[in-house]
Structure 1
Amino acid sequence: MSAYPEGTPCWADAMFPDVAAAKSFYGELLGWTFDSASEEHGGYTQARSDGKAVAAVVPQMQGVEGPAAWNLYFATPDAAATAARIRENGGTLAMEPTQVGEFGTMAMAQEPSGAYLSVWQPGSHQGFEKTGEAGAYCWAELTTRDPAATDAFLPAVFPFGMKRMDVRDVDFSVFEVEGQAVLGRLRMTEDFPPDVPPFVNVHFAVDNCDAAIATVTKLGGRLLFGPMDSPFGRFATVADQQDAIFSVIDLTTTEGEMPSFS
């Protein structure tokens, strides 16, 4: 039985050409410490914040090209059934349901607009042991140029309710599980370079957004967007020194009124 309701983001990991560099980067930025690498599972290395599992890094597999990227997992009680719904609703399976030792079963997919996501049926590994605090995952947005395709696909695969944000010139929706917002969907505008594909933007909480940006740039990463104040927190989108894109957000520094959704 999963600790997370079906459809809830429950884990995140990333493949890196240089895992040692990734550990150094995220260790300084987010205060992560790292377990010993699991040679049985390709050098998979779990990251911890305050001793609690929060993410993992893994060496990039031979033959895999392109920049590093964060990968978000959604909880499922039955990976095979979720994989079937992915296929039936226009998604593509990049990895069929695969058992990962005693830890659980995973599948990796590409939704119709092109963003990659994964599903996780837990065994001994339930997922995040800490969320919504500095040093841990707190939010994600699927960023796409084809919101209609994404909006039709996700509720057909997961038990999602959906609400649209009532803000002019911003096409943003929120998906809910059991009445709780679990994922955003943002339409990509011309502000995004044309060579940037649809992706899931993972947000990690930090104590201070501006200090986090300074650390990112000091360590060889790049500021891509922001910082910006919002009712949800002060945030910025950045890339690490291996071009993995993610966002940092200070959840305690908020500005403005919460938008309405319908």
Structure 2
Amino acid sequence: MTEAASPPVSGTHRWVSLMVHDLAASQEFYHSLFGWEFEEGPAQLGPYVQALLDGHPVAGLGEIAQGVRRLVTWLPYIATRDADATAMLIRDCGGTVAVGPLDVDQVGRLAIAADVGGAAFGIWQGGPRRHGPFQGPAGAPCWNELIAADTSGVSKFYSVVFGYDTVPVPGAPADLDYLALHLDGHKVAGIRGVGGALPHDRGPHWLTYFSVPDVDEALRRVVALGGRQLSEPEDSSFGRWARVTDPEGAPFAVLRPAR
């Protein structure tokens, strides 16, 4: 979570972070699954560590205050050149801003918001540099996807706030409600409409995909380490993937990117 030499492009997904109830146990799970090592994060964020692959930061883990119970979920942070202006635009477009914007030493200026459907995400004015979609090493986040009831209303929110173009997936089945979010012709994230299959206990939410060399082996390891498998592996134009949760119930996906 160190600041990049030059500001990232607004709308790109720069970071993912997870707040958990048992930080030590979560570190053990993700170390065993992805090979992450950890170092202490900014003290201003409380109990917080950066996950490292080959010495490079790829994600963050923080601990929820003792006695506070809440759903555990991976949170994507989307780049902005002006966190305050973006926070104002989020409110103007029907979203909410729950935290910030606030300055965090050696990190940047952050806020936590929710879109018109209630899905939480972060905005981030600052670094670090990140691999682009499907270019990170095994164990790194490689894609973020919004899970919503449908794509129509919420896609307009993200297009206005972050300047995305919404593009249907070429060759997708006619009944698949899916849009890719593009910046300057490059895919940066997706929206998947699932209708009545939206989880009742979670509602709309962002799902982070992590790159793995073998999806089936990753599923076996998730279950052996105390997580759960939520779906059977599927093959898509993006690659082979499946949905899982960690032991605290945070959903994420494992993906072997298409070559």
- The equivalences for 1:188-207 within 5 A come to 188-207=194-213
Aligned pairs (5 A) from 1:12-31: 12-31=16-35
> For the Cα contact (< 8 Å) 1:5–1:177, is it kept in 2?
no
Q: Distance in 2 between matches of 1:40 and 1:203?
A: 28
Q: TM-score, normalised by structure 1?
A: 0.90
Contact 2:34 2:139 in 1 (8 A): yes
Residue of 157, 173, 194 corresponding to 1:167: 173
User: What is the identity, as a one-letter code, of the residue corresponding to 1:221?
Assistant: G
From 241, 244, 248, the counterpart of 2:247: 241
**Secondary structure of the residue that 1:35 maps to in structure 2?**
strand
Residues in 2 aligned to 1:249 and 1:96: alpha-carbon distance in whole angstroms: 33
1:234 CA displacement = 0.9
Residues 12-53 of structure 1, C-alpha deviations (whole Å, 9 max, x = no match) = 110010001110010011110001354443021000011111
Partner of 2:159: 155
Structure-2 separation of matches of 1:188 and 1:219: 28
The DSSP-based 3-state class of the residue aligned with 2:231 is strand
What do residues 90-147 of structure 1 show as CA deviations (whole Å, max 9, x unaligned)? 001111211011320001111001100110000xx42536853211110011011142
Q: Secondary structure at the match of 2:125?
A: strand
Counterpart among 202, 213, 217 of residue 219 in structure 2? 213
1:103-122 aligned within 5 A: 103-122=107-126
Aligned match of 2:36: 32
The CA deviation at 1:3 is: 4.8
Residue aligning to 2:60: 56
Cα contact 1:52–1:129 (8 A) shared by 2: no
Whole-Å separation in 2 of the counterparts to 1:39 and 1:127: 21
Q: Give the whole-Å Cα distance in 1 for the aligned partners of 2:129 and 2:160.
A: 23
CA shift in 2, pair 1:129/1:145, >3 Å: closer
- Indicate conservation of the 8 Å contact 1:79/1:120, yes or no: yes
SS in 1 for 2:232: strand
- Structure 2: gaps spanning 5 or more residues: none
TM-score normalised to structure 2 length = 0.91
Residue-pair matches, total: 251
Equivalent of 2:256 in 235, 250, 255? 250
- Unpaired segments ≥5 residues, structure 1: 255-262
Q: In 1, Cα distance between the equivalents of 2:96 and 2:197?
A: 27
CA distance in 2, matches of 1:53, 1:137: 11
